[in-house]
Structure 1
């Protein structure tokens, strides 16, 4: 099984079932909890924070239960993967894992591969976590000719997926209806048959704890995210039963629990397949018809693919200060500015509310992520890698490829700068201030006229003054183009 912070995908189980049947051999399903994923980052933050650690544990407990129902089991192990697996696998074994694409994971793979070769164990990679299989892309195998901009990527992989305009009135156009059959995606594999993953006889599997003693206070969260496939499938069913109908109109609402799918934590951890979501969307279209909402959710799934393939193409560049273009930047913001941002004390309500939500729950909407990233890098002039590092620690839906590539884009290190007017965005996407009041209790008494700009009121005495001059936002327009922009969707789907 894979050893990083992603639960094994069904493709790995399918391949294991196939080999077990063909070779009449037992199947040992292993999850290695590698201590390197819980170390402190170079910026002084735990790489895996409390929320994600708890979600991972719940997901493993659920996986273990599901495997037992199939007369199989999960063996949890703690240690370095390149040391754990050679101790477990006898000569002639086959190790099957998900294929990794990013730097740290590939370094571990290299070390593990050398150790396995020494004792005669072979290794098979299985591609996962994307809607399109890598081999099905219309690009060269190393993705060197893949576009670095989302729209040309989308047009290449899904030319039939088109939309005449950003806002599509009813009745929907014929072009939108093409989404029902326009994409050619490999189908999901069925669950393994009961007894199809026979266990080794000499292994003691043991149990997992059901909870960690971690400071996870989520009582004010807009939604709940228990780990595991069961919870993921319930959320998917509930969302497709009704809320999907208004996704196009509500997706930027930061307070409504059903404004967007909020499936990202389960997708990022492998509890839910992106292809399962795609197939659920197709069923909605086949019974209720295609719509702007099914189009834009399909669009979001493609954005998620785009960032993983970008990480695959560019390798370690997504972690370097200069990003994809190697640009040298003089960062004038430092520890003080970063502390204001990370604790939600900048004096800008939209930024502060989102950062407090993240710190309290492990979640932030896509709209919030775009704004706080822009503010940190382009207004506070703080090294973008500190923001990416903070998100890695706190986000429930952290995904290494989506998170770090998104932050490269937010910093303008892909050749395009997108600066957000956080005041105007606040007024546009939280016009009544409900989201701000939910997370900023010190501003609850302010009127609509003042809650987005509390420095204009004499009553915001307990709220910090703006850390940068408000005048810089007075005339700045929102520099994005609505739905069609592949912006800072950090953490898998992000808003979705």
Structure 2
């Protein structure tokens, strides 16, 4: 009897621990071939003139893939890397290594699901099955207290029901061994230049550098809990508003939501549950994408009409992009985004609200710019949050407004992007706020 070989197609699940498809493959097959494709589609320029993937996120991705390869090699395995469309690469490798089945994690946004469908169709032509797994959310879809079509449009209702009636599954153990066939050509991990991108320049004001990979993700998770002070009501010593900063690693699946959740539960007596709330919002947007699909990418969202827009869209958008709106906090936030590929949630909500409600620019243009710039960009969280801010999303609090100044008073003063314009005293801040 010939050996059974399963190809594991990695996408946004760049880890060995708590990775169901990798563990299942090692249990069901004699040999496993781990594969990652750098798809040129994700490194092109969009019709709106933005890049689908900017250099900060691409750098993080390259580092994450390299770390996955290193960790697999430490187990005696290998990661096959190719530059090309998965629609062509996966069937070619499957044929070359006499693969019996292909495993992958299902995505939710239309571009990603479309690629899966194309790969599935190509594999069917050579009589192979693409097996879908669900592994990107904190709560498993099968454990929800409602079918996808009945997910509450209100986050508050969603949260109440899911916390009351569902539970988070246990962490899946890492494979003890991974047996891989002899690989003729493992392939080289591309450089930024090979992907058509320039190397990002380190900004001296940036005190926190993101490095991709499962190894760093777990180090960051431990650091997050080590830096808590009970006197700050469970908030991080470094800053009370920056959040966990785990989102880039969650985006690429270097660490799973379940791993973060169970670590948070261990430290429950020291936290204020803000980290778990971040994970719930992430789940909410992903499940809402399953429910509503492409409506999140339309200017009118779920409403009858799109928000009012100004006549001079291009000029206003450029001012916002370059941080030259004349509103100091908005500009400081945009400078930070452009210089680092990351900024905290206060900044994200504020600059999005300002673009839509004050400048009256089409919100989808702002969402597309975030898609290019953010290290932690993911379709569901990005477009879902922008639709929410624009008042065309799924939550009924259509007109929630975020102050353009209050967040700065609470922001870590060591953050020099904000420090350069912080008002000298509370009276000056009150004057700015009117």
TM-score by length of 2: 0.88
Pick aligned residue for 1:11 from 17, 20, 28: 20
Pick aligned residue for 1:420 from 391, 402, 416: 402
Structure 1 residues 219 and 424, CA gap change in structure 2 (3 angstroms)? closer
**Aligned match of 2:149:** 144
Equivalent runs, 1:106-255 vs 2, <5 Å = 106-140=113-147, 143-159=148-164, 184-193=167-176, 196-208=177-189, 213-243=198-228, 245=230, 250=235
Residue aligned with 2:32, SS: coil
Residue aligned with 2:152, SS: coil
**1:344 and 2:323 equivalent?**
yes
**Aligned match of 1:304:** 282
User: What's the offset of the Cα at 1:221?
Assistant: 1.9
**Aligned match of 1:490:** none
Structure 1 residues 105 and 221, CA gap change in structure 2 (3 angstroms)? same
The separation in 2 between residues aligned to 1:451 and 1:439, in whole angstroms, is 19
User: What's the offset of the Cα at 1:222?
Assistant: 3.7
CA contact (8 A) 2:355 2:361 kept: yes
CA contact (8 A) 2:72 2:78 kept: yes
**1:358 and 2:341 equivalent?**
no
User: What's the offset of the Cα at 1:50?
Assistant: 0.6
Structure 1 residues 119 and 326, CA gap change in structure 2 (3 angstroms)? farther
Q: How many residues align?
A: 415
Pick aligned residue for 2:261 from 278, 287, 291: 278
**Aligned match of 2:50:** 45
1:418-462: CA deviation from partner (whole Å, max 9, x where unpaired): 1223134444x24xx9367x1268647x63368759xx8xxxxxx
CA contact (8 A) 2:413 2:419 kept: no
CA RMSD, Structure 1 to Structure 2 (Å): 2.6
1:51-95: CA deviation from partner (whole Å, max 9, x where unpaired): 000000001111000000111011111111111111111366211
The separation in 2 between residues aligned to 1:246 and 1:238, in whole angstroms, is 18
What are structure 2's unaligned runs of at least 5 residues?
Answer: 1-7
1:182-230: CA deviation from partner (whole Å, max 9, x where unpaired): x62111111211xx32212243214435776513324322422111011
CA contact (8 A) 1:348 1:423 kept: no
User: What's the offset of the Cα at 1:308?
Assistant: 0.9
CA contact (8 A) 1:3 1:34 kept: no
Structure 1 residues 223 and 356, CA gap change in structure 2 (3 angstroms)? same
Residue aligned with 1:368, SS: helix
CA contact (8 A) 1:30 1:74 kept: yes
User: What's the offset of the Cα at 1:303?
Assistant: 1.4
**Aligned match of 1:410:** 389
